[in-house]
Structures are given as C-alpha cells and as structure tokens.
Amino acid sequence: MPEPASMLHRTLALALLFAPTIADAQLCEGQSAAIAPDGRAFGHLPYGDAPESELVTLPSYYSVGNPCVVRADILPDLLRLFAAAQGDPSVMGQLRALSCQRSIARQRGVFCRGETSSPADRAISVAPPGYSEHSTGYALDFAVRPANGCPDAEACMAATPAARWLRANAPRFGFEQSFPGGNKQHVKWEPWHWRWVGASGSAPGAAKARFVFARARRLYPADPGVLPLVVKVTVQPPVPVAPVVAVPSKKKRR
C-alpha cells in the first residue's frame, strides 16, 4: 500500500495533467474566448481602462469623426508630432487622429456588434473588449487627409507618404507601431495604429506607459519601436597596485 505522501503526489500530478491549460473569458453575451497561458485572447494582450481623470480631448482640428480622447501625458508629444508632420512637405497630406481612447464598454459594443461572424474572425480586425491598447488612452489610429482612395484603417495606408513619414519620425515623439507586419503576436498588420511610450524613459508619464506595455514590448516588440535608452558606463581598468617590496635598509657607509 503506498504511503500517504506518495498518494498525495500522485493525486497532484493527475490534477495537473487534467487541469485545463487555458481559461475562458466572457467577451460578448453568450460568447467566450479561450485565454492563452500568457493572457492573450485571439492574440491580443489584456489592458485595463484609463482613469477618466487622466483623459483629455485633442483639439477637434486634429481629429476626424469622433472626438479624440487620450491620456493627458501623451498630448504634448502628439501635438508636436502633428505640427512636425504639417510642416514637412514630404508628408503630402495631413495626418489626423481617427480613433483614440475607447473604454472597454465601448470596445464591447464595437466587437460584439457583428454577431454573424465568429469572435475569432472579428478579432482579426477588432480587439476583443478588455484586450485593446485603445482602452489605455495611450494608443491611437492615424488617418491621412485627403484619403486619396485609400480607406481608413486599411493596409494601403502603409504606401502613403504620410505613413512613411510616421515610420521615420513617430519614434522621436515617443510613438511606436504596435502591430508591424508579420508580428509574432498574430495580430493583423496595422500601419495606422501607434502607442505612446515616451521618447525616453524619463519623459513625463513615460514610466507609467512603459509599465502598461511592458509585457507587449518584451514579448512582441514594436517596429519601428522606441529604443530603450542605452546608458553607457565607462569602466575604468583597475589601477595596478605596486607591490610592496621590502627595501633592505642601506648599510651605513663608514
């Protein structure tokens, strides 16, 4: 007869063997999604809502459609980015904010609207509620005006001069492209979607934003991304210490 301790081990081993490796999350009425061990639902990482007290509205001149609401911390860089884009003739058009902060409740409304398709299909183009960078207030979608035949939030945007300008310049304003082509997260390539992490870790608010996106940045780096600040430490070679040699005392001359 096995000892109680070994029975306990065997029971635990069996429990682990049959334990589900994934959990389920309720996304829409009567529809749930499998949550991967790293917390992702249909490829998207989980995010919470931004506190209302930290949200501000972008001047309407810079947005199309709904008012663009973002975290107050990203506003100075976002305004500087718009101003730089406007002053650069290579942009050939005007960058605008298309969609900014969306609460989890609103995301649920967007995601759960299309009952005819499966949640997995919808998740290719819309993040499930609770799994969108937009809820944090640090992410936004850009649009180009005039659209010149390329609909908003379509891959054709990547070929526009404005999108090329974003790739070359957005990181210096602290923005990085969350979902580059072929990302290992298996989220659709979104050249219009950028998140703010601050141009340097010491920029006001950057530490908080970097904390929010820490897992995403570690597991699925943005491209182009805001590079981590490299602090060069010059290491001085050790100063050789002269060995102490016993000097024989001089003999007194006579």
Burial 84-95 (b: 16+ CB within 10 A, else e): bbeeeeebebbb
Which of 44, 102, 193, 195 binds Zn ion (CB under 5 A)? It is: 193
The count of C-alpha atoms lying within 13 angstroms of the C-alpha of 45, restricted to the half-sphere facing its C-beta, is 19
Which of 43, 141, 175, 210 binds Zn ion (CB under 5 A)? It is: 141
Residues 194-253 that bind Zn ion (CB under 5 A): none
38: which residues sit within 8 A by CB, 6+ positions away? 45, 215, 219
Give the range of 3-11, 165-173, 186-194, 245-253 binding Zn ion by CB under 5 A: 186-194
Rounded Cα distance, 237 and 94, in Å: 54
Kindly state whether residue 102 participates in binding Zn ion, applying the rule CB under 5 A. no
Q: Report the DSSP beta bridge partners of residue 95.
A: 144
Q: Which residue is nearest to Zn ion (CB)?
A: 193
Contact 213, 226 (CB under 8 A): no
Q: Please identify, using beta-carbon distances, which residue of 24 and 121 lies nearer to Zn ion.
A: 121
End-to-end CA distance of the chain: 98
Rounded Cα distance, 54 and 205, in Å: 11
Give the range of 69-77, 136-144, 221-229, 240-248 binding Zn ion by CB under 5 A: 136-144
Give the range of 7-15, 87-95, 107-115, 141-149 binding Zn ion by CB under 5 A: 141-149
CA-based R_g, the chain, Å: 27
- Residue 71 Cβ, how far from Zn ion at the closest point, in Å? 15
For residue 192, what are its two tokens?
């219009």
- Residue 239 Cβ, how far from Zn ion at the closest point, in Å? 56
Q: Please identify, using beta-carbon distances, which residue of 143 and 199 lies nearer to Zn ion.
A: 143
Q: Please identify, using beta-carbon distances, which residue of 89 and 155 lies nearer to Zn ion.
A: 155
Q: Please identify, using beta-carbon distances, which residue of 122 and 193 lies nearer to Zn ion.
A: 193
Please work out the total of residues on this chain that contact Zn ion, with binding judged by CB under 5 A: 2
Rounded Cα distance, 213 and 108, in Å: 21
Q: Please identify, using beta-carbon distances, which residue of 9 and 113 lies nearer to Zn ion.
A: 113
Task: List contacts with Zn ion (CB under 5 A).
Answer: 141, 193
